[in-house]
Amino acid sequence: MQAQIKYEFSATLWKYEGKGGWFFVSLPKEISEEIRNNLKWQEEGWGRMKVTAGLDRFRWETAIWFDTKIQTYLLPIKADIRSRAGLQEGEVLDLSIWI
């Protein structure tokens, strides 16, 4: 198994207003800067980087995307996770990601 770096943070759940209505959290700028400076080589197209995400007892495989407009990574929160955890837009979540 490959060693992974773990990041823990709190972030507010927000909904993208465009097509699809995806829900995201924005990683803190300091964490995004550290990831971008040290791990950018792991990015695939469009600033996408594979991660494992964790919230409470839930863990799932996903990716973060770097948003150049706000200079931070975005973590999508899947509908299944939102439903099972009873999450609402505007809620502050305590999350972990492993890269």
CA nearest to 49, candidates 37, 38, 40, 60: 40
What CATH number does the domain containing 32 carry?
Answer: 2.40.30.100
Confirm whether 89 is domain-assigned: yes
Average pLDDT, the chain: 93
Confirm whether 52 is domain-assigned: yes
Per-residue pLDDT, 2: 62
What range defines the domain where residue 81 resides? Answer: 6-98
CA distance 97 to 99: 7
Query: Per mean pLDDT, which range of 6-10, 18-22, 38-42, 93-97 is the poorest?
Result: 18-22
Per-residue pLDDT, 3: 64
Confirm whether 28 is domain-assigned: yes
Confirm whether 33 is domain-assigned: yes
**pTM listed for this prediction:** 0.90
Confirm whether 41 is domain-assigned: yes
Per-residue pLDDT, 58: 96
Domain count, the chain: 1
Residue 95 has pLDDT above 60, yes or no: yes
